[in-house]
Structure 1
Amino acid sequence: MQTIHLQGGFGEKGRTSIAVDDGATLLMLDAGIKVGAPAQDYHPRLARAAAEIDALFLTHAHEDHIGALSWLLRQGFNGPVFMTAATRGEMAATLAQYARPDDLAACPGSAAQIEIFSAGDRLTVGAQTIDTGHSGHVAGGTWFAVTSGGQTTLYCGDVVPHSAVFPMTPLPACDLLVLDCSYGPDTVPAADRAKTVIEWTAAHPCGSVLPTPLSGRSLELLTILPGPLAMSDDMEAPLRAQLADPDLLHPGMAARLRDRIAGLHRWTPGDPLPAMPLLVHDGMGETGPARAALDQAERAGHPVLLTGHLPEGSPGWRMHRAGTADWHRLPTHPTLPENRALWEATGRPAVIGHSCDDAALDAVQQSLPALNAGTRTGGSLKIGDA
């Protein structure tokens, strides 16, 4: 019987990680960090010693899923690390921003035994079989379905069932579904959210700053926002890299976005803020050009729109709390109706949810009674007990 260890992201947002243990093989899925957390809560809470983990599988290169890789290596993990080529391409930049400097210096991501796979591949470690598929969240992002002993745990990581940019492979049937509950009970469709973001930028014709992660939401914003746009000059190469494999996007989307990027104005930190929407990374204002742009915007009273998760204590969180930045969600995770549809499509299995707090889990359970709302980081469960 599979035992699932909840190593991060349960009852909280950040340091997302689970481990699937069949008694002979221990697989770790994702190794994230929690932005703004104290040292004891920054990394996953490992169920067993790092050296006992047989393999690590990474869904994508956002910090709350990959940021603890150097730390894990330094803790003694020496097994293979499975990731897509797109995740491998973004790994170094994410670790440079979010790994602890001493961990990164001792164990850069390049020190890992990296195994590249493509979404749709079937992989095997020990007696465990791992099926994979596109997640719809970022280019090269994946979900994992781990089967052993006649049981299947399906770990969504971060998924977007109806992204305008990225495809999501239908999920297979499973015994335990680990859902991305980042948005809790939110039921507002993505189209309505996008309309709100478009209207907000139109209402600020003299320019605005939109912090955004390099992967995923940046391309979503380029797809929906009309008219002239600007971006920090260091975003061009990473964005073009995400378009290198057209099979990781919806048909025709790579060419459309390449044209869009070619027409963007370029901005360098220290330059005057442009009289048009400006995309800068990262989405929280914690690192990168976003930090400089938010400081500049706040001093000048320049409009700022935040569109994603804001960890407590981050610059974006502080500005929104102070009333110097607005916030309107641009969905890059599933809404409650989408999560319910995923549950139906996978055969109505037992469900646990990651990436949201206790209150949100309780609210989701009202519409999805199969959800076990009592799961917390540091706990473990057997599929039959979920």
Structure 2
Amino acid sequence: MKLTVHGGIGEKGRTCVGIEHGGTRLLLDVGVDTSAQGTAYHPAITRAELERIDAIIVTHAHEDHVAALGWCLANGFSGRILMTAESVAETDATLAAYATPHERALAQAATAEIIAPGTDFVLGPITIRTGRSGHVVGGIWCHLCAGGRSLGYCGDVVPDSPVFAMDALPPSDLVLIDASYGADRIPAIERGAAIKGWLAAHPQGAVLPTPLSGRSVELIGLIEGPIAIHPSMREALAQQIAASTWLKPGAADALSARFAEALLWEEGQKLPRAALLVDDGMGLSGPSKAALAQARREKHPALLTGGIPKGSPADLMLAAGEADWLRFPTHPTLPENIAIAAASGAGRILAHSCDAATAALLATDIPKLVTGLKPGDTIEI
């Protein structure tokens, strides 16, 4: 197998990895980089290359993994699209925020084939297995085998989520780890305690911008005080909480009870005395755009808990001291990535969703990590 970097390795955002073997070509994820402008926003892949791609596998419906799907269709891709039913249901909302209307329409008109986690399938000579990622409802990792070699692609994973279940990744010759958190060593329990303490110290309420899928559900399970959401989020969150096969045992009942207590807030209303969860893009789109703007005007507390796109409203608020940041654990910490790499038995490891400097730093703790790769580079597996 040959791996080609189209995005997300040597940089953060626009995750997209090409795999080729025996004349079959596929892409693992097709994300955008919300911090970038111009051509760097989409994967680094040409129209001629897209015309030769047989299939796209999407691990989950966050913007840095799926938001370029319509762009691919507009630029020559006409192959198969594979993702879980839950990711299919969430993709349109992501494209509404991060794709052009034309790209979104092309994706809406396309038919995706449904992946069932834990079930093997084949694309040409490549056998593919998937499993639950622990990151979001509908999120998967991928394991590819061909020609006696194997590749493990984590996508985004959370080995020890208190809410979502993650299946063990099979051994691989090469594994791509989720390095979104770089060298962060702080465990989930400590991060969760810090967020609870911060919220307790702000009883007047706070705005928490958060992706609609994944972290919003985990925060509902974590937060002990009043919770509020935007009405547009209600249906999607209810569906995620009801998807018990993706959750850890007992999580659905606890989440349902907390969700039933959630207040509703929408634009034009006073900010509530509650932890207000609003999606998405750290103020770039969705109800978080209005909520953060109102918080800034009224000097209302705001807590950022995830990645912060450069130049986003949240980024500007943080720089101005108008928001605080406590990263909630929705990606692996360094000790967890060390464990994933060791368990894989891989002779070589790549890190996605981090820049080159971060990858070089990780290599001191993960000796088999290959550094220096960037979009356009290839590697034989």
Give the TM-score, by structure 2 length. Answer: 0.98
SS across alignment from 2:242:
coil
Aligned to 1:27: 26
SS across alignment from 1:49:
helix
Alpha carbons 2:92, 2:104 under 8 Å: kept: no
SS across alignment from 1:243:
helix
Aligned to 1:76: 76
1:129-148 correspondence to structure 2 within 5 Å: 129-148=127-146
Deviation at 1:283, TM superposition (A): 4.7
Distance in structure 2 (CA, Å) of the matches to 1:378 and 1:273? 46
Q: Which amino acid aligns with 1:67?
A: A
Distance in structure 2 (CA, Å) of the matches to 1:85 and 1:252? 23
SS across alignment from 2:283:
coil
Q: Which amino acid aligns with 1:40?
A: T
Distance in structure 2 (CA, Å) of the matches to 1:184 and 1:331? 12
Deviation at 1:306, TM superposition (A): 0.3
Aligned to 1:158: 156
Structure 2 unaligned residues grouped into runs of 5+: none
Deviation at 1:335, TM superposition (A): 0.5
Q: What is the aligned length?
A: 380
Deviation at 1:100, TM superposition (A): 2.3
Deviation at 1:365, TM superposition (A): 0.5
The one-character-per-residue Cα deviations of 1:155-186 (angstroms, maximum 9, x if unpaired) are: 11100000011111001010110110001111
Structure 1 unaligned residues grouped into runs of 5+: none
Alpha carbons 2:179, 2:332 under 8 Å: kept: yes
1:167 to 165, 179, 191: 165
1:196-215 correspondence to structure 2 within 5 Å: 196-215=194-213
Aligned to 2:277: 279
Aligned to 1:98: 98
Aligned to 1:240: 238
1:198-347 correspondence to structure 2 within 5 Å: 198-347=196-345
Give the TM-score, by structure 1 length. Answer: 0.96
Distance in structure 1 (CA, Å) of the matches to 2:32 and 2:222? 30
Root mean square deviation, CA, Å: 1.1
Deviation at 1:101, TM superposition (A): 2.9
Distance in structure 2 (CA, Å) of the matches to 1:190 and 1:247? 22
Q: Which amino acid aligns with 1:115?
A: E
Aligned to 2:174: 176
Moved over 6 A (4+): none
Deviation at 1:104, TM superposition (A): 2.4
Distance in structure 2 (CA, Å) of the matches to 1:251 and 1:113? 33
Q: Which amino acid aligns with 2:64?
A: D
Is 1:120 equivalent to 2:118 in the alignment? yes
The one-character-per-residue Cα deviations of 1:206-225 (angstroms, maximum 9, x if unpaired) are: 11111110000001101111
Distance in structure 2 (CA, Å) of the matches to 1:292 and 1:357? 31
Distance in structure 1 (CA, Å) of the matches to 2:150 and 2:87? 24
The one-character-per-residue Cα deviations of 1:35-60 (angstroms, maximum 9, x if unpaired) are: 03112101111265211001110000
The one-character-per-residue Cα deviations of 1:294-341 (angstroms, maximum 9, x if unpaired) are: 000000110100010011111111111111111110010001100010
Alpha carbons 2:151, 2:172 under 8 Å: kept: yes
Q: Which amino acid aligns with 1:273?
A: L
Aligned-residue sequence identity (percent) comes to: 47
SS across alignment from 1:367:
coil
The one-character-per-residue Cα deviations of 1:210-246 (angstroms, maximum 9, x if unpaired) are: 1110000001101111021111121111101112321
Distance in structure 1 (CA, Å) of the matches to 2:104 and 2:214? 24
Distance in structure 2 (CA, Å) of the matches to 1:112 and 1:31? 15
Alpha carbons 1:146, 1:153 under 8 Å: kept: yes
